[in-house]
Amino acid sequence: MKSSRVITIEELWRIHNFTPNDNQREAILYGEGPLLLTAGPGSGKTRVLLWRTLNLIVFQNVPPEEIFLTTFTEKAALQLKEGLRTLLGTVTNLTDKPYDISKMSLGTVHSICQSLITDRRFSPGGARKHAPVLMDSLSQYFKVYKKSFWQELWVAGGFTDEESAHNFISNYFLGKEINSRHVAVTECIALFNRFSEENINPSTVQTTDNSLKALLKMYEYYKNSLQINSSVKQVDFSLLQQDAFQAIESFANSGNVFKHLIIDEYQDTNAIQEKLYFALSKGSKNICVVGDDDQALYRFRGATVENLVEFENRCFANIGQTPKRIDLDINYRSRKNIVDLYSHFIVQTNWENETKKGSYYRVNDKVIKANSVDLKPSVVVSTKDKAENVYAEIAEFVLDLKRTGKIHDYNQCAFLFPYLKGSTRVTGFANAFEALGIPVYAPRAKSFIEVDEAKAIFGLFLKIFDRPHYGNTGSQSIINFRNWMIECMQIADTLMREDKLLKEFVTDKKNEVAIALEDYNLLLAFIKKKKWGVKDPFKLAMIREFAELPRLSPKARKNLTNSYFKKVIEFKERDGEPYSIDYIINRTTSLDWTVLDLFYQLNGFRHFRDMFLLAEDGTDEGPVCNLGLLSQYISRFMDQYGTILTASFLSEEKFVRVFFASYVYALYRLGESEYEDADDPFPKGRVPFLTIHQSKGLEFPVVVLGAVYKREKPADKKEIIIRSLLSKAGEPLDKISCFDNMRMFYVSLSRAQNLLILPRYTHSSAATEVFKNIFANYPLQGIPELDKEQVPVAEESKQDLGKSYSYTADYLLYNKCPRNYMIFKKYGFVPSRSQTMLFGSLVHKTIEDLHHLLMHDRKTAAV
């Protein structure tokens, strides 16, 4: 074994072609004590976090398990993990010293909170606690929306009937009465989550507001309902954080478990997270927070930008030390004029705290500088004209950028909007591109289930399973959803006319469903005739009676007479734990495919197969990306409701009501929010349309800001409630919307690398006052005057940080089947788990049977 050698961090920087500026270097090497890093757009903060972590592990000898590193999204957390593994791999290659980060607390705050709750280091005596059962946002919605639970909830709130509860809740939050369970449920969930994030105890908090008292009673009932038994309970994302904080707070040594805490995107943290981080750093005092208050976008999720703006004072109040502040203030992303514009933009409103002279609602003294010295035009505006002409001018300009080679692919030009759904700007630009034959990618511009690929798949599902029937209904939303289902079925009819093999397949699957239902009803009728109960024990002697029933299908008869099945029945009966009759009926009449299996089988037919060919040759990845997202939604349904399609589930419209009338309808309704930050792909061959929220943390060679206006709104009711309950200070309620809009547009302006394009419309809502002033007074060049030769050629996006590959997960999968790798790794398809689940079930059953056999032998020996 060769001897290890001494290395320096400067040597590692040279190997990885990284030359930090003075502030980056200081941030990376800073040692003990609290640290505040203000990080402007494109300032290389992710690299700084990586190298700072490496410095702690390699050169300060801090064990990885004593470092807490959290960021906002799963994607960012994965990027940090892969980057850190790559850098540490370099160190190992040079020194022969291995590093294991598997026990390091690195991830999103939610993933780390899950591990903290069960971490033996936070438990007296080192006992491991039971992990809570985590509900994601969709599971939480379904729990509260379920009719029986929702009734329990509004009864707990003191309401006499459902309609009055709906009208009260909608009027309280939205200022108008709406008799909609969906509206009432979504408003209550948002309030419950905010209560949890503020660590509010509903049984002790004081208020004179009778309406709020009713909602607090509902919140208390909701929290109590999550306790499954004395040791296990469910939690939503917000309560998960509360549970983690309470676990830490109750353990005296919690402040010494981690030697260093590093928290990214600190401007997007909420009240309970702030409590959590200060509690964990009370002993070591080593808390490093990184963020940019000008990019704070998540107030609607309970984020508190004051956590960052006031960090210096809050840090001293909580851990007794004032942090060192270092500004990461050099932008490496954008050309100089882009940086100058967004720096000018953000100071065009008054951020001063009028109640506290010399104080501001932002970190007011930071100055962002461009690394670029390119003074050529990089911000252009359209001709001031009516909207249709602006759309056409910008679309033609993008076409020209592609034709002249300034962008290699349309996905290098992103269109950003304050919101997508219902936006006339989105529709206008999409139509302008369609007129030029240029496809766009905007799966969130409407409810995702309305994209063409979803309608085709769901239409074929509806042809196989049928659709739920509502009868007469006055609900416009249900009428719209019913019309959507009918449209999907019409699309499916067209596809089947064009592909006879597809039509035969759908017919076969429909017949399989019908046969399973016939077998099910036949067996139910038989046990009724025999006067057996469905929960009565199934005995071995019953197999023959079941199997010899006239008209029973060959498949069901084969299932019943299978030799292995007979042995299992015999074993269970001998062991005194026989299966129930309904279990046997369900097993006998279940389909041998899942909803996700059906999805993949349909993908093999010509209409969908052509989409994969387009993606493979790089022509158009949009349809395949949509199919990938669809596979995730279908997989999510199976997680929620189980994988096996039994005839019992298919009977009496139960499946179609659960799948279509409940799950798909919920996706249809939940897709109405203007806040979208989904981690969607940017397929080749299409112009991506994103919300500004989605664009945060991203960069594109060319950015078009599709709209430069967003109406200011009154302060959110939940914000008013929290401030009233907790006597909590914050930004003035009448300025919140203005401040949030300024931050949102600041994010959009700072995404561009080479070229930023702004539209100038003529009508009264054409632009905010700040943009109007910029258009009137700021030196900007028009599209017609721009010399495109001065626009740099877009570079192909490259991996900024190291990416580690797994031999088994990456290379072997690619070697086995490149298309398989493309589907599952690149486009995010969820594999069908039938085989995996079958194997896992067999292993589990085998172990269980061996256990029972061992216990039986022991009992026999004892006798």
CB 209 within 8 A of CB 84: no
Element (H, E) at 702: strand 700-705
For residue 376, give the nearest of 785, 770, 795 by alpha carbon. Answer: 785
Residue 805: the pLDDT is 45
Pair type for strands 105-108 and 369-370: unpaired
Place of tokens 């639970």: 149
For residue 758, give the nearest of 780, 790, 791, 784 by alpha carbon. Answer: 780
* 658 three-class SS: helix
Beta bridge partners of 331: 370
Q: Give the mean pLDDT per block of 10 residues along the chain (863 residues).
A: 76 96 98 96 95 97 96 86 94 93 91 88 74 87 91 96 96 94 94 95 92 96 89 89 91 91 95 95 96 94 93 96 97 97 96 91 94 95 96 98 96 95 93 96 80 95 93 79 95 97 97 96 95 93 92 92 88 90 93 94 94 86 88 88 90 93 86 49 88 92 97 93 91 95 97 98 89 95 94 76 45 51 70 48 39 47 50
Residue 619: the pLDDT is 84
Amino acid identity of residue 662, one-letter, is S
Count the Cβ atoms, other than its own, within 10 Å of residue 491. Answer: 19
For residue 440, give the nearest of 683, 703, 698 by alpha carbon. Answer: 683
CA distance 297 to 827: 27
CB 459 within 8 A of CB 492: yes
Residue 670: the pLDDT is 79
CA distance 443 to 449: 9
For the stretch 401-423, what's the b/e string if a residue is b when 16 or more beta carbons lie within 10 angstroms of its beta carbon? Answer: bbeeebbebbbbbbbbbbbbbeb
DSSP per position, 245-286: HHHHHTSTTGGGS-SEEEESSGGG--HHHHHHHHHHHTTT--
CA distance 460 to 467: 11
Residue 126: the pLDDT is 65
For residue 740, give the nearest of 363, 305, 341 by alpha carbon. Answer: 305
Give CA separation, 743 vs 223, 348, 761, in Å: 34, 11, 22
Residue 854: the pLDDT is 47
Residue 817: the pLDDT is 55
CA distance 378 to 643: 53
Q: Helices marked H in 663-709 — which ranges? A: 665-670, 692-695
Residue 843: the pLDDT is 36
Count the Cβ atoms, other than its own, within 10 Å of residue 471. Answer: 4
CA distance 535 to 579: 9
Note the residue count of the chain: 863
